[in-house]
Structure 1
Amino acid sequence: MYDREHLIAALSRVANGDKAGLKTVYDLTSAKLLGICARILKEQDEAEDVLQEVYVSVWSRAGSFDRERSSPITWLATIARNRAIDRLRSRRVRPADGLDQAEQVADASPDAFTRVSDAQEAERLRHCMDGLETTHRKAIRAAFFDGLAYSHLALRDNVPLGTMKSWIRRGLLQLKGCLSG
């Protein structure tokens, strides 16, 4: 588990070349990022290799993290996801005979219809999230987009754990109703 501000501070230290900052980032996020890599690659050894590449990338790109554009865990998860997908794509056998066999290579990227549909779904989700009570919306964002545990959220917001769970459950039920309607 991590504290957003603590992770932001550690990334800032990494951007300044602080190895201890990188160790802090690793300690706070490696389990989550390894999970992302393992889910995509389906092989633990390969996921661990990619995770190492992720932290090499974090070391060199920490200065580009912008806390105004995304949360630190979202930024890190995106790097892990992209690295794992790159590794997955590199596994594919490439046609050796040139253009004659190019039609047999599937394009894994989404087609235009899928991209438009995904964008519409994202906009619908954003609209439904905006319709939630502020406490419910913030709790859901922190739990599902930032990866914070319910217990951490309850402590952060100084409410009982049961209250936090209720806020999130009620918010999710409202989201479900909004998205299905």
Structure 2
Amino acid sequence: MQGSAGELADLLARTAMRDRAAFKLLYTRTSAKLFGVALRILKDRSEAEEALQEVYVKIWQRADRYQAGGFSPISWLVAIARNHALDVLRARKPVADDLDAALDLADAGPNPEQATVRSGERARIEACLDQLDTDRADAVRGAYLDGYSYEELASRHSVPLNTMRTWLRRSLLKLRECLSA
């Protein structure tokens, strides 16, 4: 559950003063979003979980660098997560050149049946998103697939923050109805 910008700025200021309770609350309020950002970039759950731990170590160490009035607190936190995930991505070792060794490895991907089911689910979700107004569908994709904050989406669509929250809440309800039908 993401907190308000004022609350997050306060938590960052208290974290800069080494307030562990504030840091814990900051983690509770923002970890789901930052995990989503890392997962979207790294495409590997365990790697994203590890990256998230390292992101929060950086936040603990650098909370004093956040300047209220600059970026929104969530944008600052997302930037740290995104940059760290990109660093992890760049540091990955290149694929081994020994193709003979690769032939003995089992395919970790989904089997054909699982791939077909996932493809069907993806198609159903896309069909349900297509039933939403274009701007609402774009907002849902931005928030839940691309990791944009509500503030960023409200600015992007030139609507008040509470309007964006309402759009997303109502759109998710419509998606749930559509998918359960």
| TM-score, normalised by the number of residues in structure 2 | 0.55
Aligned-pair identity in percent equals 41
Using the alignment, how far apart are the partners of 1:61 and 1:15 within structure 2? 7
- Written as runs of structure 1 = structure 2, the 5 A alignment for 1:141-160 is 142=151, 144=153, 153-154=162-163
Q: Alignment length, in residue pairs?
A: 112
- Written as runs of structure 1 = structure 2, the 5 A alignment for 1:13-162 is 13-93=14-94, 142=151, 144=153, 153-154=162-163, 161=166
Using the alignment, how far apart are the partners of 2:59 and 2:42 within structure 1? 20
**SS of alignment partner, residue 68 of structure 2:** coil
* 8 Å Cα contact 2:51/2:84 also seen in 1: yes
Find the counterpart in structure 1 of residue 145 from structure 2: none
Q: Would the alpha carbon gap of residues 22 and 38 (structure 1) be closer, same or farther in structure 2, given more than 3 Å must change?
A: same
Find the counterpart in structure 2 of residue 2 from structure 1: 3
Using the alignment, how far apart are the partners of 2:44 and 2:38 within structure 1? 9
Q: Would the alpha carbon gap of residues 18 and 35 (structure 1) be closer, same or farther in structure 2, given more than 3 Å must change?
A: same
Using the alignment, how far apart are the partners of 1:5 and 1:17 within structure 2? 19
Using the alignment, how far apart are the partners of 2:76 and 2:85 within structure 1? 14
1:42-99 residue CA offsets vs partner (Å, 9 max, x unmatched):
00000000000000000000000011210000100000001101111110339xxxxx
Using the alignment, how far apart are the partners of 1:83 and 1:154 within structure 2? 31
Using the alignment, how far apart are the partners of 1:155 and 1:82 within structure 2? 26
RMSD, aligned CA:
3.2
Deviation (angstroms), 1:15: 0.2
| TM-score, normalised by the number of residues in structure 1 | 0.55
Using the alignment, how far apart are the partners of 2:154 and 2:35 within structure 1? 17
1:128-180 residue CA offsets vs partner (Å, 9 max, x unmatched):
xxxxxxxxxxxx9725178xxx9971599xxxx47xx9xxxxxxxxxxxxxxx
Instruction: Give, as a single letter, the amino acid of the residue that structure 2 aligns with 1:20.
Output: A
Find the counterpart in structure 2 of residue 175 from structure 1: none
Instruction: Give, as a single letter, the amino acid of the residue that structure 1 aligns with 2:77.
Output: L
Using the alignment, how far apart are the partners of 1:145 and 1:77 within structure 2? 16
Q: Would the alpha carbon gap of residues 145 and 46 (structure 1) be closer, same or farther in structure 2, given more than 3 Å must change?
A: farther
Using the alignment, how far apart are the partners of 2:72 and 2:41 within structure 1? 22
Q: Would the alpha carbon gap of residues 151 and 32 (structure 1) be closer, same or farther in structure 2, given more than 3 Å must change?
A: farther
Find the counterpart in structure 1 of residue 137 from structure 2: none
